[in-house]
């Protein structure tokens, strides 16, 4: 009995040190803080103010990721193969400077064409433009830190920025919030989140970007960049289209709905990064179990949240956000195929096929855009949400064909239906 009792603390310590437990736990905390933050933003700004911020923050955050040109996946894969983090940071800094210099003029033209002079949206996009090279560096170093299995540093970035955002919002409530002040706060915490893993892992650039590395790094990064760009666009295409099609009030409602649903994506990311590292090292049989189990977990969480919406929306967000409830339910459901997509995409990256998902993402984008344009005028924000759901199902269908070609030939059903043996595989892979 004593031996059994003594094993409990050891088992708990082992559980706490598993990367999936650490990442899911930190993401759960970040989820809770993010929901509170979203509720505070909704309360102090209302649908119109929230929509005004979305006009800038949606393209601003997307451009920051797109300007990385797929390099975070390159650095993550190299780190999983044993590359020193200091070398990776030096190369990342060099690429950040190059990208910032090349993209400065096109970014300026985009800001000028997308926003009105003196508007809140323009000021926020200018802020994003100024910090974009730093964001590129942070994304690349974060990829390397994750590839090196430095999960504590990665985990901290899942909740610390949300905590800082919440504290900042409380301060702004005291001094008088505005869409501009809230937007600038979000720009700052985005920057913090990208730099934090490297800072906590004590990564310091050592050396410089070597000329001979530029071509292979860009070849790998750009090989998956278009697919990654389309994947990112697919996750935001519905919201981007509504910035043009919808009223400010509808846009604010949909922005809150997408924010709520998107937090579940953290579950898939928590699983995908450790699984990617394992597949890099040869454990390709893990891919079907990872996809199926992750999708099932997201389905359960989405169902619980959807059932709680009739109470949560008026209590947390206020009655003015009740019209968003239908879109929230549909978008929560859309997170299930997206969870499988996130995991399987990283499996393709792991086997050196970062560009393979391109066809699926392109088909999904065409589906989403066509349906939003056709359905939103008659179906409103619920129709836009259903369009996003359909696009993700299309993407997953194509991705399953690609994974079975390049990673493992397991039956299709094993990628979407969790089994007991799959759960055991996942538990073993996480230790």
Q: What pLDDT, on a 0 to 100 scale, did the predictor assign at position 87?
A: 86
The stretch 321-349 carries a mean pLDDT of 92
Please check the confidence at residue 8 and state whether its pLDDT lies above 60. no
Among 206, 199, 208, residue whose Cα is nearest residue 96: 208
pLDDT digit string, tens, across residues 68-97: 888 888 888 888 888 888 888 888 888 888
Q: What pLDDT, on a 0 to 100 scale, did the predictor assign at position 300?
A: 94
| Per-residue confidence band for 298, with pLDDT thresholds at 50, 70 and 90 | very high
Task: Please report which residue ranges of 18-114 form alpha helices under DSSP H.
Answer: 19-66, 71-80, 85-114
pLDDT digit string, tens, across residues 159-198: 898 899 999 998 988 888 888 888 889 889 988 988 999 9
Q: Which of 78-82, 254-258, 276-280, 384-388 has the largest mean confidence?
A: 384-388
Q: How far apart are CA 3 and CA 29, in angstroms?
A: 33
Q: What pLDDT, on a 0 to 100 scale, did the predictor assign at position 17?
A: 54
| Per-residue confidence band for 7, with pLDDT thresholds at 50, 70 and 90 | very low
Please check the confidence at residue 9 and state whether its pLDDT lies above 60. no
| Per-residue confidence band for 12, with pLDDT thresholds at 50, 70 and 90 | very low
The stretch 312-337 carries a mean pLDDT of 88
Distances (CA, A) of 113 to 59, 106, 244, 247: 13, 11, 14, 20
List Cβ neighbours of 41 (8 Å cut-off, separation of 6 or more).
50, 53, 169, 182
User: Does the predicted TM-score (pTM) go above 0.75?
Assistant: no
Q: How far apart are CA 230 and CA 248, in angstroms?
A: 26
Q: How far apart are CA 26 and CA 30, in angstroms?
A: 6
Q: What pLDDT, on a 0 to 100 scale, did the predictor assign at position 4?
A: 43
Q: What pLDDT, on a 0 to 100 scale, did the predictor assign at position 333?
A: 95
| Per-residue confidence band for 382, with pLDDT thresholds at 50, 70 and 90 | very high
| Per-residue confidence band for 321, with pLDDT thresholds at 50, 70 and 90 | confident
Let me know the angle formed at the C-alpha of 232 by 20 and 142, rounded to the nearest 5 degrees: 45
CA 403 to chain centre: 21
Q: How far apart are CA 423 and CA 64, in angstroms?
A: 36
| Per-residue confidence band for 158, with pLDDT thresholds at 50, 70 and 90 | confident
Q: Rounded to 10 degrees, what is the CA torsion of 320, 377, 373, 340?
A: 40
Question: Mean pLDDT score of the chain, rounded to an integer?
Answer: 82
Q: How far apart are CA 322 and CA 155, in angstroms?
A: 33
Directed axis angle between helix 85-114 and helix 71-80, to 10°? 170
pLDDT digit string, tens, across residues 247-274: 878 888 888 888 788 878 878 887 887 8
Q: What pLDDT, on a 0 to 100 scale, did the predictor assign at position 389?
A: 94
Q: What pLDDT, on a 0 to 100 scale, did the predictor assign at position 11?
A: 40
The answer to whether 235 touches 266, Cβ cutoff 8 Å, is: no
E strands of 234-360, at which residues? none
The stretch 322-333 carries a mean pLDDT of 92
């Amino acid at each position: 009995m004593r031996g059994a009792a003594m094993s409990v603390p050891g088992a708990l310590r082992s559980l706490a040190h598993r990367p999936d437990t650490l990442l899911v736990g930190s993401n759960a905390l970040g989820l809770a803080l993010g929901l509170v933050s979203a509720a505070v933003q909704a309360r102090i700004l209302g649908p119109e103010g929230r929509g005004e911020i979305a006009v800038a923050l949606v393209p601003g955050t997307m451009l920051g990721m797109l300007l990385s040109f797929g390099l975070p996946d390159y650095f993550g894969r190299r780190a999983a193969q044993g590359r020193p983090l200091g070398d990776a940071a030096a190369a990342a800094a060099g690429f950040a400077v190059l990208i910032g210099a090349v993209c400065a003029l096109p970014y300026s033209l985009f800001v000028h064409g997308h926003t009105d002079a003196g508007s809140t949206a323009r000021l926020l996009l200018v802020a994003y433009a100024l910090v974009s090279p730093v964001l590129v560096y942070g994304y690349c170093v974060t990829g390397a830190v994750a590839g090196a299995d430095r999960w504590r540093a990665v985990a901290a970035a899942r909740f610390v920025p949300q905590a800082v955002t919440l504290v900042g919002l409380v301060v702004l409530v005291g001094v008088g919030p505005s869409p501009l002040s809230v937007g600038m706060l979000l720009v700052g915490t985005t920057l913090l989140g990208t730099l934090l893993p490297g800072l906590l892992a004590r990564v310091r650039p050592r050396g410089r970007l070597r000329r001979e590395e530029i071509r292979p790094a860009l070849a790998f990064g750009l090989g998956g960049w278009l697919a990654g760009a389309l994947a990112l666009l697919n996750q935001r295409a519905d919201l981007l289209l509504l910035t043009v099609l919808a009223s400010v009030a509808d846009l604010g409602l949909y922005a809150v709905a997408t924010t709520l649903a998107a937090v579940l994506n953290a579950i898939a990311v928590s699983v995908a990064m450790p699984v990617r590292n394992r597949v890099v090292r040869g454990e390709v049989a893990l891919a079907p179990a990872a996809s199926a189990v992750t999708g099932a977990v997201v389905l359960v969480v989405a169902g619980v949240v959807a059932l709680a919406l009739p109470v949560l929306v008026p209590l947390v967000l206020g009655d003015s956000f009740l019209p968003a409830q239908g879109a929230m339910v549909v978008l929560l459901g859309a997170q299930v195929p997206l969870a499988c997509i996130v995991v399987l995409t990283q499996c393709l990256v792991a086997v050196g096929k970062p560009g393979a998902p391109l066809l699926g993402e392109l088909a999904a984008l065409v589906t989403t855009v066509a349906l939003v344009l056709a359905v939103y005028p008659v179906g409103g924000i619920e129709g836009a949400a259903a369009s996003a759901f359909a696009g993700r199902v299309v993407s997953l269908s194509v991705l399953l064909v690609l994974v079975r070609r390049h990673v493992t030939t397991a039956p299709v059903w094993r990628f979407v239906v969790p089994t007991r043996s799959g759960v055991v595989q996942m538990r073993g892979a996480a230790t």
